Amino acid sequence: MKLSVKALGLAAAGVVAAGILTAVSAAEISGAGATFPYPIYAKWADAYKQVSGNSLNYQSIGSGGGIKQISANTVTFGASDKPLTPEELDKAGLAQFPTVMGGVVPVVNLSGINPGDLVLDGPTLADIFLGKISQWDDAAIKKLNPSLSLPSQAIAIVHRSDGSGTTFIFTNYLSKLSKEWADSVGSNTAVQWPAGIGAKGNEGVAANVGQTAGSIGYVEYAYAKQNKLTFTKMVNHEGQTVSPTADAFTAAASGADWSHAKGFYMILTDQPGAQSWPITAATFILMQRRPSDQTASIEALKFFDWAYANGDQMATDLDYIPMPDSVVKLIHDYWKESIKGSTGSPIYSGSM
Amino acid sequence: MTEAAMPESVATPTLDTGRLAAARRFSRNDRFFFRLTQTCAFAVLAILAGVMISLAFGAAPALSEFGLGFLWTDSWNPVTGKFGAVAPIYGTVITSAIAMVIAVPVGLGIATFLTELCPQVLRRPIGIAIELLAGVPSIIYGIWGLFVLAPILQRTLQPWLIGIFHDIPLLNALFAGPPYGIGILTAGIILAIMVLPFISSITRDVFEAVPPMLKESAYGLGCTRREVIWKVVLPYARVGVTGGVMLALGRALGETMAVTFVIGNAHRISASILAPGTTISASIANEFTEAVEDIYTSSLIALGLILFIITFLVLAAARYMLLRIEKKSGG
């Protein structure tokens, strides 16, 4: 009974939140969704308020929540780390564009192994998370790390227990590199993990990896960096060994051909380019194509326009990768052709 | 007020109507009071029915899709949209059982010590400490469990358990696997600590309600302290004690936050209690906000409905048990 009360409470909170969001949408920009870009959205919003006086109310409730809220039209924009396919966008009457990019990195806890010492590739990583490789001194790992002395220790797998865009990016990468992973597990914000323990949030994974000897997990790059976790290097699409750095994320992003991505449906995992970090991803904004509250939607587009023009440094400071100018140009064109008012004319076309 | 009205009515018969009016007013007030309290009591039934109905509505898509098989399928796959409840049900039942095995004897011990054996000066401090334990928010237990208890168990208890039961059949399967630190057993221990105050403070209160006369009579007959506690205090207080245990069990079944932190959140059933698992409430808390597909959300609500029913059955069984005990001792 305790639980059902909680579930009801959650539902009630959702209804109240939705009510508040609808009520204030005329006065301020309201958005909800992904937790991954929350720090940069908050920072942009703060800076934007100082220059424009308009405030942004962003609820970081998770990518799935963002998709739900914008589909129900209770917010001006939704945010998701998992892009919707062009078909899904058409079906829901939504427009989609990327804001910033970031990287997901595998982290390990092995005594004597320092950050960047261990090298892994996609198929090996998939076999580890499938439970097929269960010891650190397995031949497949040894082959990638001939110079390291790997302990004969069981691998403890740590994954996210809550639905997460980070999980989507990670499982998407594994699906691309391992047919067995694609067939038996697949990719989504939550999957049926074949092995390991689940931890809540990036913090939970970081904490569990930090205190479990012989463990491996995956977190957003910023968490690995801030918590000084032992990240691994990865072998990328070109067979090059790369470290997770801002340059490697940018390299992955720059190789991407956004101009042919319908509805900006683009998943940046396993991108070509010698320097590209293979587990890179963009995070997305979802908006109604025919917004019922045009004023609020124009304000939201103005905010993102301002952020593309002025927010790059703030994003870099927080370990995000800003969108290249060429992509921002595409986004402006996209706004013109897809987000329209009741008369059928674009509601906002961008300043650049 | 009636006394004041009495002499007047005797003196003047015309005031009879006044008396009648007063009596009517009293009876009206009484009826009003009756209705008011009755409404409050029935409101509980209405709320319970409301919860039940909304859960049933929410769970309907999942139950019609998977049928009764939902109860014994162990797939929980958001990618393919195949869901089954057996892993979280198993986790819920096992963690609560572990919690009860630890908390019931300890809780009874605490209550016995506090009421019968403890020096007066220590009674209040220990009693207050136990009640404080009940006031600690569950998220604090979760954080403490993850950062303090789990590493300790990982280094000490778990390798020890794996070591000593290594060669004993059955038990080596029960205590197998890498010592993660977190898992079913850790969740059970955290739950035991959390429900301990419920058992011990309720038990203490009912122990204190045992008439001193009964105990003194037993002592007079030459009983030892142990005999008085076992043969007089415990049997006299068993209804209250059972009530406290049931309340604790209810909390253990439904506890969410603390369990989510330390259970490992894996939708699997393992023979080993050191392995990660999940409970119904932990699954819902973890996955509800991100469950986009309708069937996913509906499956989570169906889990909620199952927990509701489990809790109801447990409480009904407890009532039935109490009824039988009372009949036995009565006849």
The model's pLDDT over A293-307, given as tens digits with 9 standing for 90+, comes to 888 899 999 999 999
**Same domain flag for A331 and A306:** yes
Write down the pLDDT at residue A257: 81
We report the CATH number of the domain holding residue A307 as: 3.40.190.10
Q: Give residues 149 to 168 of B whose Cβ lies within 8 Å of A.
A: 150-151, 154
Residue B321 above 90 pLDDT? no
Please, what's the b/e burial string for A300-318 (b: 16 or more CB within 10 A of its CB; e: otherwise)?
Answer: bbbbbbbbbeebbebbeee
The distance of B278 to chain A (nearest Cα, Å) reads 9
**Same domain flag for A125 and A239:** yes
- A8 lies in some domain: no
**Same domain flag for A95 and A129:** no
Residue B251: list chain A partners with CB under 8 A. 2
Average pLDDT over residues A194-201: 88
**Same domain flag for A171 and A135:** yes
Residue A162: list chain B partners with CB under 8 A. 286-287, 289-290
Across all residues in chain A, what is the average pLDDT?
86
pLDDT tens for A84-101 read 999 999 998 999 999 999
Write down the pLDDT at residue A24: 44
Residue B254: list chain A partners with CB under 8 A. 1-3, 6
**Same domain flag for A69 and A97:** yes
Write down the pLDDT at residue A22: 46
Burial of A111 per CB tally in 10 Å (0-12, 13-18, 19+): exposed
**Contact between B76 and A198 using a beta-carbon 8 Å cutoff:** no
The Cα–Cα gap between A330 and A345 comes to 18
Domain end position, chosen among A212, A236, A254: A254
pLDDT tens for B227-266 read 999 999 998 888 889 888 988 998 899 898 899 989 988 8
Q: Does B11 touch chain A (CB under 8 A)?
A: no
Q: Give residues 186 to 245 of B whose Cβ lies within 8 Å of A.
A: none
- A6 lies in some domain: no
Using CA atoms, how far residue B302 sits from B66, B85, B181, in Å, is: 11, 9, 30
Q: Does B291 touch chain A (CB under 8 A)?
A: yes
Structural domains of chain B sorted by starting position, each given as residue range(s) with its CATH number in brackets: 51-329 (1.10.3720.10)
pTM here? Answer: 0.80
Write down the pLDDT at residue A12: 52
Residue B71 above 70 pLDDT? yes
**Contact between A192 and B305 using a beta-carbon 8 Å cutoff:** no
Domain count, chain A: 2
- A123 lies in some domain: yes
Residue A134: list chain B partners with CB under 8 A. none
The DSSP symbol for A343 reads: T
Residue A130 above 90 pLDDT? yes
**Same domain flag for A52 and A185:** no
Nearest to A163 among B77, B260, B290 (CB): B290
Nearest to B266 among A64, A198, A211 (CB): A198
**Same domain flag for A314 and A330:** yes
The DSSP symbol for A219 reads: E
Domain end position, chosen among A254, A272, A300: A254
* Position B221, amino acid: L
**Same domain flag for A224 and A95:** no
- A12 lies in some domain: no
Residue B84: list chain A partners with CB under 8 A. none
- A250 lies in some domain: yes
In the beta sheet, which residues pair with residue A80?
A284
- A268 lies in some domain: no
Q: Which residue's structure tokens are 């490697």?
A: A248
How many residue pairs from chains A and B have C-beta atoms closer than 8 A?
A: 133
pLDDT tens for B275-307 read 999 999 999 988 887 777 789 999 999 999 999
| Band (B15; pLDDT cuts 50, 70, 90) | low
| ipTM surpassing 0.85 | no
Q: What percent of chain A has pLDDT over 70?
A: 91
Which range of residues forms the domain containing residue A64? 28-101+281-338
- A264 lies in some domain: no
Q: Are B247 and B127 in contact (CB under 8 A)?
A: no
Nearest to B292 among A68, A196, A208 (CB): A68
Interface test with A, best of B268, B292, B305 (most A CBs within 10 A): B292
